[in-house]
């Protein structure tokens, strides 16, 4: 069995101040990826301050006492590094990729410095807000499909902070103050709320020694109190119409709220998504695109790694020209009912398993991908066993399991759907 | 030291008995192999009135072959966990797939049939055409697509193949018949003139054996690329009204071919002006100082015919005029004054130091080799690149910027909710 010998076996260390250091040694190429993960994302925000985590991510490039504005990026460039950062609902990540692994000292120096010494000024803040508002215009306002997704997610989650978009609502971004930002920074940018992930041409011991040298003296922060959010049970189907002037072809995005990877049902849900709508041989694609020719795009998706206990099982469809959204939607429901009744075939289960094995192996080729996986698991509170036992757990999914999760979660009452339609403006 | 010679990145280049040139690098850490066919069948061959034909042909390849139906192909490849995709650029088509070593033979058996014996079934043809047309209509939602399409048509004119989108437009795709597809395939999908890139866990002996087994029946020479037609550029500002919150702007002009010996010097020059990373002049001025845009960059298209130099950004409709003014100021300063030695050394360090990151997976190596092989950049290009970058001087940069970049003869395209003069 191919997959048995393939697993991720990192070395783990914890500094006294709580900083966790996870290293995968891989000497295949001279490269390395260095990532610092903070367990703070849009789910740690509140109404009126949405988007603050992402805004802070932008401001992290604005310099410290020691390295003034722009210096960080100049030093990284000068040393041949690629850098960037991103914010999700669950976390914020900063990374540098180096062509030469010896350069990680630079990451150590710069990342430890900006973990505590960030210098925020009104002037830089004002301009960066404008940049973030442009980012929102670019990625959401002028992108009809993004608007659709934003609206459907906001309707699906009422109580849980997954309700609002990562980038925040426009007015909140405008209104957030420097003081808010400082408070957010001081509360969450702490060694005991961070994880360092290093994958590449390095030695674990050496990385750990360096982490101690650069980060060891940073003080731990008071423990963070996090509300125990729970999205209450949905009491019936939610349907919405989303209009945007630039829509040329209507489309549909629907979600079911389902458990994340910490629950046993997750494995069957993953297989269910593969069988229903991932790839050109999936049930929905074959039925709607190839046979009935009622759609040009059909996809399902389910990503089990998250902090929040309920995540979305998503469905996206672009109908063929002149086919009504209601019509494709009803075919989807026929297929959902069919799998509830008859379950999957043996071949479908086997195919799903093969796809999981193959994509896991392909992913192992990339330092960055492995570091991402490790970081996500760590901040979302999964153990690494999750990855290493994943293929095995997937292969134990039975047809009965698939029927059960389909019956339990893919129900009308647990369904939120949005239709994206053109809006005529004068 | 960065840029040391890594001989693992020099591919073994050899020919199969049918003349297909193979570029091969063995990497055996993980049990899979990446394949990439590079076929000189890009949209530059699209006939008048049938723009988008090259794309339709490529999208039809996996839709049925002598031994497999469209569904068989999808079912069997999916079952083995094979990743595959076909894409077309202006210059060439690529057929990409990666497969676990265990399934190598079964995968090649199918893909070989797809490449050599596609049947282009009428039913699938009708469906795929509809899908492509739907995609074209949908892409009109995207201001970036509209801007890029408009820019190409203004910069190259109707006489030049680069003046049209790779996917064509609704009418031109509508006009394509199944016979057009068959004829295009027969002329362009040939082993001689094409390349096959292979990176991964397979020995040379096994590779040759398996390729000969499945591809020896594939014969012929692909049609060469015709001389470049005249470019008829229109300079000036062109506005496309669109009901968006932001205006998307592209500024630029025709520049050089990839085969131009000065190309690498232009890459270095552009890195300072608007290249990747968070340090370019455009990034500093437009994003950091001006707060105008989230994304701003420039590049020179590496293409077979004359590529264009482009500056791209988006900003709120109301600020588009002042943003353009500032961009043009930077462009003038760049053309007139070149770059400083500090900027040059930073650009070189970045390009050389980050180069190994472009080559750290089987897939990325295959992508790069596909590019290198198509543009005849020599098989040791991946180890030569850092040295070539290193040798670029400040005078070189000044000279190429003066010679190939202009700040007056430029085309500006604005897509957004802005006033038209």
Rounded Cα distance, B91 and A110, in Å: 43
The whole-number pLDDT of residue A57 equals 98
Query: From the candidates A4, A5, A25, A29, which should be mutated to test the interface with B, based on the most B CB atoms within 10 A?
Result: A29
What are the domain boundaries of chain A? 7-215, 238-422
| Residue bearing tokens 């040694």 | A25
CA atoms within 13 A on the CB side of A89: 20
Longest Cα–Cα distance in chain A: 66
Rounded Cα distance, B150 and B165, in Å: 9
Span A112-144, pLDDT tens digits: 999 999 999 999 999 999 999 999 999 999 999
Residue A348 is inside which H or E element, if any?
A: helix A346-363
Span B91-125, pLDDT tens digits: 999 999 999 999 999 999 999 999 999 999 999 99
Query: From the candidates B34, B132, B138, which should be mutated to test the interface with A, based on the most A CB atoms within 10 A?
Result: B138
Residue B210 near residue B24 (C-beta atoms within 8 A): no
Q: Name the pairing type of β-strands B296-300 and B308-316.
A: antiparallel
3-state secondary structure of A246: coil
- Starting at the earlier edge strand, list the strands of the sheet with A251-259: A238-244, A415-422, A251-259, A310-319, A295-302
Q: Give CA separation, A177 vs A39, A88, A129, in Å.
A: 22, 21, 10
Cα distance from N-terminal residue to C-terminal residue, chain A: 63
- pLDDT-derived band at A85 (thresholds 50, 70, 90) equals very high
Rounded Cα distance, B116 and A80, in Å: 43
The whole-number pLDDT of residue A425 equals 56
CA distance A233 to chain B (A): 36
| Residue in B418, B403, B246 with CA at minimum distance from that of residue B316 | B246
- The answer to whether the CB atoms of A249 and B137 lie below 8 A apart is yes
For A414, which DSSP code? G
Residues near A145 by Cβ (< 8 Å), separated by ≥ 6?
A251, A253, A420, B141
State the average pLDDT over residues A323-352: 97
Provide CATH code, domain A238-422: 3.30.830.10
For A320, which DSSP code? P
> Which residues of chain B make contact with A243, given a CB cutoff of 8 A?
none
Beta bridge partners of A25: A200
Instruction: Say whether pLDDT at A1 is over 50.
Output: no
**What phi and psi values does residue B205 have, to the nearest 5 degrees?**
-60, -50
- pLDDT-derived band at A3 (thresholds 50, 70, 90) equals very low
What is the ipTM for the molecules in this complex? 0.94
Nearest to A31 among B79, B287, B360 (CB): B360
Residues of chain B with CATH 3.30.830.10: 10-215, 236-416
Domain B236-416, CATH number (from 3.30.1330.10, 3.40.50.1820, 2.40.50.180, 3.30.830.10): 3.30.830.10
- The answer to whether the CB atoms of B357 and A97 lie below 8 A apart is yes
Residue A99 near residue B357 (C-beta atoms within 8 A): yes
Rounded Cα distance, A335 and B245, in Å: 39
| Residue bearing tokens 């991510």 | A57
Count Cβ atoms within 10 A of the Cβ of residue A363 and give its class: 0-12 exposed, 13-18 middle, 19 or more buried: middle
Rounded Cα distance, A254 and A213, in Å: 49
Q: Name the pairing type of β-strands A20-25 and A194-200.
A: parallel
Nearest to B291 among A79, A82, A127 (CB): A127
Matching fold, domains A7-215 and A238-422: yes
CA distance A383 to chain B (A): 24
Longest Cα–Cα distance in chain B: 66
Residue A235 near residue A407 (C-beta atoms within 8 A): no
The whole-number pLDDT of residue B223 equals 86
Instruction: Summarize chain A as % helix, strand, coil (round to 5).
Output: 45, 20, 35
Residue B232 near residue B395 (C-beta atoms within 8 A): no
Query: From the candidates A27, A86, A252, A281, which should be mutated to test the interface with B, based on the most B CB atoms within 10 A?
Result: A281
- The answer to whether the CB atoms of A69 and B288 lie below 8 A apart is yes
Residue B333 near residue B267 (C-beta atoms within 8 A): no
The whole-number pLDDT of residue A4 equals 46
| Fold (topology level) of B10-215 | Cytochrome Bc1 Complex; Chain A, domain 1 (3.30.830)
3-state secondary structure chain B: CCCCCCHHHCCEEEECCCCCEEEEEECCCCCEEEEEEEECCCHHHCCCCCCCHHHHHHHHHHHEECCCEHHHHHHHHHHCCCEEEEEECCCCEEEEEEEEHHHHHHHHHHHHHHHHCECCCHHHHHHHHHHHHHHHHHHCCCHHHHHHHHHHHHHHCCCCHHHCCCCCCHHHHHCCCHHHHHHHHHHHCCCECEEEEEEECCCHHHHHHHHHHHHCCCCCECCCCCCCCCCCCCCEEEEEECCCCEEEEEEEEECCCCCCCCHHHHHHHHHHHHCCCCCCHHHHHHHHHCCCCCCEEEEECCCCCCCEEEEEEEEEHHHHHHHHHHHHHHHHHHHHHCCCHHHHHHHHHHHHHHHHHHHCCHHHHHHHHHHHHHCCCCCCHHHHHHHHHHCCCHHHHHHHHHHHCCCCCCEEEEEECCCCC
**What phi and psi values does residue B411 have, to the nearest 5 degrees?**
-110, 130
| Residue in B368, B386, B357 with CA at minimum distance from that of residue B277 | B357
Count Cβ atoms within 10 A of the Cβ of residue B384 and give its class: 0-12 exposed, 13-18 middle, 19 or more buried: middle
The whole-number pLDDT of residue B6 equals 66
Residue A138 near residue B294 (C-beta atoms within 8 A): yes
Nearest to B100 among A80, A127, A361 (CB): A361
A106: left (phi over 0), alpha (psi -120 to 50) or beta: alpha
Nearest to B243 among A318, A320, A425 (CB): A425
The whole-angstrom distance between residue B58's C-alpha and the CA centroid of its chain comes to 15
Residue B314 near residue B323 (C-beta atoms within 8 A): no
The whole-number pLDDT of residue B34 equals 98
Rounded Cα distance, A382 and A8, in Å: 14
Per-residue tens of pLDDT for chain B, all 421 residues: 344 456 689 999 999 999 999 999 999 989 999 999 999 999 999 999 999 999 999 999 999 999 999 999 999 999 999 999 999 999 999 999 999 999 999 999 999 999 999 999 999 999 999 999 999 999 999 999 999 999 999 999 999 999 999 999 999 999 999 999 999 999 999 999 999 999 999 999 999 999 999 999 999 999 889 999 999 999 999 999 999 999 999 999 999 999 999 999 999 999 999 998 889 999 999 999 999 999 999 999 999 999 999 999 999 999 999 999 999 999 999 999 999 999 999 999 999 999 999 999 999 999 999 999 999 999 999 999 999 999 999 999 999 999 999 999 999 999 999 976 5
Catalytic-residue membership of A57: yes
Residues near A183 by Cβ (< 8 Å), separated by ≥ 6?
none
> Which residues of chain B make contact with A74, given a CB cutoff of 8 A?
279, 346
The whole-number pLDDT of residue B420 equals 61
- The answer to whether the CB atoms of A99 and B354 lie below 8 A apart is yes
> Which residues of chain A make contact with B135, given a CB cutoff of 8 A?
296
The whole-number pLDDT of residue B306 equals 98
The CATH H-level superfamily of A7-215 is: Metalloenzyme, LuxS/M16 peptidase-like (3.30.830.10)
Span A279-334, pLDDT tens digits: 999 999 999 999 999 999 999 999 999 999 999 999 999 999 899 999 999 999 99
| Residue in A313, A314, A158 with CA at minimum distance from that of residue A251 | A314
The whole-number pLDDT of residue A8 equals 86
Residue B365 near residue A40 (C-beta atoms within 8 A): no
Rounded Cα distance, B304 and B306, in Å: 7
Nearest C-alpha in B relative to A27: B29
- The answer to whether the CB atoms of B346 and A365 lie below 8 A apart is no
Rounded Cα distance, B59 and B125, in Å: 9
The whole-number pLDDT of residue A7 equals 80
């Amino acid at each position: 069995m191919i997959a048995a010998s393939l697993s991720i076996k990192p070395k783990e260390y914890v500094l006294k101040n709580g900083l966790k250091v996870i290293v995968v040694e891989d000497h295949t190429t001279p490269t390395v990826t260095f990532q610092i993960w903070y367990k703070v994302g849009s789910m740690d925000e509140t109404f009126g301050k949405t988007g603050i985590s992402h805004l802070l991510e932008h401001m992290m490039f604005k310099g410290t006492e020691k390295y003034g504005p722009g210096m960080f990026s100049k030093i990284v460039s000068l040393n041949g590094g690629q850098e960037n950062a991103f914010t999700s609902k669950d976390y914020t990540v900063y990374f540098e990729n180096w062509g030469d692994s010896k350069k990680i000292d630079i990451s150590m120096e710069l990342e430890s410095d900006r973990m505590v010494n960030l210098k925020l000024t009104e002037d830089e803040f004002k301009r960066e807000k404008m940049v973030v508002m442009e980012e929102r215009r670019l990625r959401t306002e002028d992108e009809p499909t993004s608007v659709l997704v934003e609206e459907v997610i906001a309707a699906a989650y009422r109580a849980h902070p997954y309700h609002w978009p990562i980038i925040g609502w426009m007015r909140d971004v405008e209104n957030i103050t420097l003081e808010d930002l400082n408070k957010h920074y001081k509360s969450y940018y702490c060694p005991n709320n961070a994880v360092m992930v290093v994958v590449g041409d390095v030695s674990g011991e050496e990385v750990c020694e360096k982490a101690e040298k650069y980060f060891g003296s940073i003080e731990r922060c008071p423990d963070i109190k996090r509300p125990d959010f729970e999205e209450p049970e949905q009491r019936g189907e939610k349907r919405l119409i989303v209009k945007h002037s630039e829509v040329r072809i209507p489309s549909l995005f629907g979600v079911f709220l389902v458990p994340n990877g910490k629950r046993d049902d997750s494995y069957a849900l993953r297989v269910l998504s593969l069988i229903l709508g991932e790839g050109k041989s999936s049930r929905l694609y074959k039925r709607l695109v190839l046979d009935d020719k009622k759609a040009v795009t059909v996809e399902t998706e389910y990503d089990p790694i998250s902090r929040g206990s309920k995540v979305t099982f998503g469905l996206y469809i672009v109908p063929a020209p002149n086919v009504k959204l209601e019509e494709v939607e009803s075919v989807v429901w026929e297929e959902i009912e069919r799998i509830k009744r008859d379950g999957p075939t043996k071949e479908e289960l086997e195919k799903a398993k093969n796809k999981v094995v193959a994509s896991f192996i392909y992913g192992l080729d990339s330092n960055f991908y492995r570091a991402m996986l490790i970081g996500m698991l760590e901040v979302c509170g999964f153990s690494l066993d999750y990855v290493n036992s994943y293929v095995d757990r997937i292969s134990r999914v039975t047809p009965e399991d698939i029927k059960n999760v389909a019956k339990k979660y893919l129900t009308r009452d647990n369904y939120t759907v949005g239709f994206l339609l053109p809006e005529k403006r004068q | 030291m960065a840029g040391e010679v890594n001989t693992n990145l020099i591919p073994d280049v050899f020919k199969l008995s049918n003349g297909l040139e193979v570029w091969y690098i063995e990497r055996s850490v993980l049990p899979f192999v990446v394949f990439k066919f590079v076929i000189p069948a890009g949209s530059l061959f699209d006939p008048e009135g049938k723009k988008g034909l090259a794309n339709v042909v490529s999208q039809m390849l996996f839709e049925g072959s002598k031994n497999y139906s469209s569904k068989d192909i999808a079912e069997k490849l999916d079952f083995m966990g094979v990743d595959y995709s076909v894409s077309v650029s202006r210059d060439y088509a690529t057929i990409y797939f990666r497969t676990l070593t265990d399934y190598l033979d079964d995968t090649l058996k199918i893909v070989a049939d797809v490449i050599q014996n596609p049947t282009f079934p009428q039913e699938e043809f009708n469906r795929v055409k509809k899908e492509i047309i739907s995609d074209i209509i949908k892409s009109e939602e995207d201001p970036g697509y509209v801007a890029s399409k408009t820019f190409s048509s203004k910069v190259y004119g109707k006489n030049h193949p680069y003046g049209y989108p790779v996917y064509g437009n609704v009418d031109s795709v509508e006009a394509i018949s199944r016979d057009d597809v068959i004829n295009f395939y027969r002329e362009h999908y040939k082993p001689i003139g094409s390349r096959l890139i292979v990176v991964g866990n397979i020995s040379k002996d096994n590779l040759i054996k398996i390729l000969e087994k499945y591809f020896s029946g594939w014969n012929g020479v692909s049609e060469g690329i015709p001389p470049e037609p005249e470019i008829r550029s229109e300079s000036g500002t062109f506005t496309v009204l669109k009901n968006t919150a932001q205006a998307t702007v592209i500024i630029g002009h025709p520049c050089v071919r990839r085969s131009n010996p000065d190309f690498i010097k232009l890459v270095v020059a552009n890195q300072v002006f608007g290249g990747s990373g968070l340090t370019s002049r455009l990034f500093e001025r437009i994003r950091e100082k001006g707060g105008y845009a989230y994304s701003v960059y420039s590049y020179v298209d590496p293409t077979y015919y004359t590529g264009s130099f482009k500056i791209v950004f988006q900003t709120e409709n109301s600020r588009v005029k002042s943003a353009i003014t500032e961009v043009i100021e930077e462009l003038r300063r760049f053309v007139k004054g070149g770059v400083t030695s500090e900027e040059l050394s930073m650009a070189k360090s970045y390009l050389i130091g980050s180069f190994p990151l472009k080559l750290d997976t089987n897939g990325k190596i295959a992508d790069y080799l596909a590019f290198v092989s198509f543009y005849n950049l020599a098989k040791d290009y991946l180890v030569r690149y850092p040295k070539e970058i290193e040798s670029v001087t400040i005078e070189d940069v000044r000279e190429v910027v003066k010679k190939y970049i202009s700040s007056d003869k430029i085309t500006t395209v604005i897509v957004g909710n802005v006033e038209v003069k």
